[in-house]
Amino acid sequence: MCKAVIASRLKALTCLLLLVALPAAAFEIEAERLFHGRAPVAEVRLLSTTDSDIAAPLIEAFLSTRPDLSVRYVMASSREVFAAIADEGAPFDLVMSSAMDLQMKLANDGFARPHASDVAAALPDWARWRDLLFGFALEPVVVIVSLKGIEGLPIPQTRRDLIALLRENPAHFSGRVATYDPHLSGAGYLFFTEDARQTDAFWRLAEVMGRLEARLYCCSVDMIEDLAAGNILIAYNVVGSYAASHARRIPDTGIVELQDFTQALLRTGLIPVTAPRPDLGAALLDFTLSPEGQALARGPTGFPPLDSGAIRLSAHIRPIRLDPGLLVGLDRMTRAIFLREWDAALNQPLAGR
């Protein structure tokens, strides 16, 4: 066989091996935004599940203290954020997510870089895990209601109230109840599994929503926008910061913290081992955890701060624990069983048929 043919085949084989080595598909980005300091000479790469409009005041305040930086803000769903780091080793300096279980898995599986600082050490024990994962906002998971749309019906204050309201008014709420699709949303899956651990009423509620052909969503924002448009009347398990932010511009929106219990999630940050500039990721994380960053959380960002006092005063608030117990729901078999039960609960005959 001539040398030219051998060389050609070797070249082809090399190309094939390179193609096999490449990832099958990059993670899916929902939005990207660049925040500029006054005279940037370096860039912080931030991957987050939070809408950039919510996070903008925090990022801009950080850049006012670090005018030499810019922040490239990339937004993706919680499952895509996890895949970006765990499967693709994407080069981000800081990862912030509302999906506590997926963040815990990243930290537990060796994808987080240790970080130590005075502000990190000052966090309460329930808001950090080792020196790898850090809570920066604690916010309730709420129900939102169209006050105009429910037409004088009672606003539910507990899950039992919500079940009764939906059961007694099927024609009014058919096709107009919303919640997460746990197949698509990591945060939604976490909220549902925590609900199921704490009350049997969760599965009764799921069956009722199934009979009413509930609409399922990937994201809190989409539920809120459809409520504003009048397409839905009630949304269950909406992230509180989004509800509060959008309620300011949407009239007749009620936000309900259920009194039997209201979960509170920790938004968490970690510095991935793949960070090109871990020092810059640490700087942004520490600013977020600092008194200045936490003060901003009480204001324009809409992130409820880490307020232990508020938890003590609100008996119905139950923070989701930041510990390896979060990993139980991520077991492949456990997840498959839960989703199968969820699908069965949602696949109910329409009321009145």
Count the neighbouring beta carbons within 10 Å of the beta carbon of residue 258: 21
Residue with tokens 């109840």: 177
pTM of the model: 0.76
Per the structure, the complete domain to which residue 50 belongs is given by 31-137+267-306
Same domain membership, residue 278 and residue 227: no
Residue 305: the pLDDT is 64
Instruction: For residue 140, list its beta bridge partners.
Output: 264
CATH number of the domain encompassing residue 192? 3.40.190.10
Residue 353 lies in a domain: no
Same domain membership, residue 286 and residue 246: no
Residue among 127, 119, 129, 133 nearest 266 (CA): 127
- Number of domains comprising the chain: 2
Same domain membership, residue 165 and residue 37: no
Spatial separation of the C-alpha atoms in residues 183 and 310, rounded to whole Å: 33
The secondary element (H helix, E strand) that includes residue 64 is: helix 52-65
Same domain membership, residue 206 and residue 126: no
- Where does the pLDDT of residue 205 fall: very low under 50, low under 70, confident under 90, or very high at 90 and above? very high
Residue 41: the pLDDT is 94
What are 163-175's pLDDT values in tens digits? 999 999 999 999 9
What are 78-105's pLDDT values in tens digits? 889 999 999 999 999 999 998 899 999 9
Rg (CA), the chain: 22
Same domain membership, residue 259 and residue 271: no
In our burial notation (b when 16+ CB lie closer than 10 A, e otherwise), range 162-190 reads bbebbeebeeebbebbbbbbbeebbbbbb
Spatial separation of the C-alpha atoms in residues 209 and 203, rounded to whole Å: 10
Same domain membership, residue 273 and residue 255: no
Same domain membership, residue 255 and residue 273: no
Same domain membership, residue 341 and residue 203: yes
- Where does the pLDDT of residue 2 fall: very low under 50, low under 70, confident under 90, or very high at 90 and above? very low
- Where does the pLDDT of residue 50 fall: very low under 50, low under 70, confident under 90, or very high at 90 and above? confident
Same domain membership, residue 250 and residue 173: yes
Residue 184: the pLDDT is 87
pLDDT at residue 186 greater than cutoff 90: no
pLDDT at residue 297 greater than cutoff 50: yes
